């Protein structure tokens, strides 16, 4: 879909900026989902204290790292 150029010669973000934005959005959403899923799964198996925090951190990093790839690819295809 074409985007109208404004009076100050503003243009669309570049392809790289779209992919970068998708990467960051995917990482944020993935980490939020990982926090919820990690908290419930770690509490369910009986973790507590620093072990709980470590388990949540690992789950957040894994889900953020996976989800950002998919969103970045989607944003690149959409552009």
pLDDT in tens, 11-59: 788 889 989 999 999 999 999 999 999 999 999 999 999 999 999 999 9
pLDDT in tens, 58-71: 999 999 999 999 99
Could you identify the residue written with the tokens 């899923």? 37
Helix (H/G/I), strand (E/B), else coil: 61: helix
- The domain ranges of the chain are 16-77
What was the pLDDT predicted at 44?
Answer: 96
CA atoms of 38 and 46, how far apart (whole Å) = 12
What was the pLDDT predicted at 2?
Answer: 61
Six token digits for residue 51: 């072990």
């Amino acid at each position: 879909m074409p985007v109208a150029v404004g009076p100050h010669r503003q243009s669309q973000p570049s392809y790289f900026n779209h992919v970068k934005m998708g990467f960051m959005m995917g990482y944020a959403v993935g980490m939020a989902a990982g926090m919820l899923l990690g908290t419930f799964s770690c509490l369910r198996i009986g973790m507590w204290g620093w072990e709980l925090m470590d388990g949540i951190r690992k789950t957040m990093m894994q889900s953020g790292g996976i989800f950002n790839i998919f969103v970045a690819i989607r944003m690149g295809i959409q552009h």
